[in-house]
Structure 1
Amino acid sequence: MASRPLIKPRKIATQQRSRATVDALVQATARILVKEGFDKASTNRIAAVAGVSVGSLYQYFPSKEALVAAVIERHQQEITQMVRRELAGVLTESIDKAVHKLVTVAVKAHRVDPKLHRVLAEQIPRVGKLEKLETFNRENFALFSAYLERHREELRIDDLGLASYVCVTTIEALTHNAVLHDSRMLSDQTMEALVDEAARLITGYLKK
């Protein structure tokens, strides 16, 4: 059985120069993933694009998988910050408004560097940290569950955990495929129509 690649950084960059080196390596990895794919993202290739030596790369990262994990973490942080900002206060809104906002935010999340998102979601082997690429991560499942709990009396469903799974997974599947795979959905007008229809689908499932 093949051993799993090392994906934890060797050390954390603390000085400005070392942070700049790490940043260049992570950005180079992301560019190569988008333009050439995962299989072409060797450590030699990443170092060359970043303009640093392979030796410098290995000071911080033990493998290309570790660099990809760093790209995933940075991409996920960007999405998470946007989601938190957009969904602040959603717990107190009506079901119709809250669900519409959730779908809208899911679309925005997939529009955060969509080419990179597609590569990370579909090309990367699922190993360790690499398994953690999620647009709606556990935090957002928890938020949706908390929302349903607060509005339980307005719902027709009893199993809130199952309902959260059904709703969040449905929103993720619809928005992922629309933004990343269907060119017909790229216009603002069509995307607004998709958000309206998806929100109607989810609210119809939830409300009494």
Structure 2
Amino acid sequence: MAKKEKGPVNQRRIPKQKRAIAKYNAVLDACAQVLAKYGYQKATVLELSLVSDVPVATIYQYFPDKESIFQAWFERTLDQLFEFMAVSVEEHHDDDIETFIYQMIRLVLDTVSADRESVKRLITDLPHIMLSHLLTTTEKKTVAVVATMTESYLGLPASEKLSAKLHILTRCILGFMLQYLMAEESENEIDHLSDELRTLSLLYLADALNS
């Protein structure tokens, strides 16, 4: 009988004290190193404990299993990226639209590249149900951030038509990003992909930008 895949699991509790938060973050910080070395299937809570210097018993106070640990790491990585983007929106607010879009895309690609091998191993090894959850979470968060950026930078009022366009555009960009993550590294690939995604974004949003 085939083993049933487990879906995403919630954390047991969120740390509140300074020392507990430091240990919690140390465990998440260890995820990238452990993933890059072992992949998700062979990664263990014990290995995370050894790398983070946090006792296994302490880890289990916050997480019921390794699935929830890597889920928390992935979502924290997303949240950090979106925080960087929010700062970058302010820094590039006076740029022309082409430069602005390019800078946002380049920021995402540069950030993803830092943990490229770890994210690639996670995507490759994850059980289907958990991967589906992470991709859905990524899409929802990205759509919300893109909508906020569009309204903030372009001053475009929210509408069903614009929301639908941004949703589809976000899916296209995430598809390109996924392809980038899974492909072999090549020279100047980030430059080329940034240019392609900027062109795609401008073409897709042309009517909204010109209205």
> When the two structures are superposed, what TM-score results if normalisation uses the length of structure 2?
0.71
Which secondary structure does the structure 1 equivalent of 2:12 belong to? coil
SS for the counterpart of 1:159 is: helix
Contact 2:85 2:104 in 1 (8 A): no
Name the counterpart of 1:199: 198
The match for 1:172 is 174
Over 3 Å counting, the alpha-carbon distance change for 1:170 and 1:149 in structure 2 is farther
Contact 2:13–2:62, Cα closer than 8 Å, also in 1? yes
AA in 1 matched with 2:20: S
Structure 2 CA distance for partners of 1:129 and 1:177, relative to 1, 3 Å? closer
The higher relative CO (CA closer than 8 Å, separation ≥ 6) is in 2
Q: 1-side partners of 2:195 and 2:51: how far apart?
A: 43
1:10 aligned counterpart, secondary structure: coil
Whether 1:140 aligns to 2:145 is yes
Write the mapping of 1:114-125 to structure 2, written as runs, cut at 5 A: 114-125=116-127
What percent identity do the matched residue pairs reach?
22
Match of 1:107 among 106, 109, 122: 109
Residue ranges of structure 1 left out of the alignment (5+ in a row): 153-157
Structure 1 position 26, deviation (Å): 2.2
* Residues 92 and 166 of structure 1: CA distance in aligned 2, closer, same or farther (over 3 Å): farther
One-letter amino acid of the structure 2 residue matched with residue 137 of structure 1: T
Residues of 1 paired with 2:8 and 2:190: CA distance? 40
Q: Which has the larger radius of gyration?
A: 1
Residue 65 of structure 1 and its aligned partner are, at CA, apart by: 1.4
Instruction: Indicate the residue corresponding to 1:31 in structure 2.
Output: 33
Aligned pairs for 1:9-20 within 5 A: 9-20=11-22
Contact 2:106–2:190, Cα closer than 8 Å, also in 1? no
- Write out per-residue CA displacement over residues 72-100 of structure 1, whole angstroms, 9 at most, x where no aligned residue: 13211221111112223767765434433
TM-score by length of 1: 0.72
Q: CA RMSD in A?
A: 3.6
Change over 3 Å in CA distance of 1:96–1:24 after alignment to 2: closer
Distance 1:64 1:199, change over 3 A: same
Q: After the TM superposition, which residues 73-112 of structure 1 pair with which residues of structure 2 at under 5 Å, given as runs?
A: 73-88=75-90, 94-112=96-114
How many correspondences in the alignment?
Answer: 200
**CA positional deviation for 1:41:** 1.9
Taking the aligned partners of 2:8 and 2:182, their CA distance within structure 1 comes to 30
Where 1:166 maps in the other structure, the secondary structure is helix
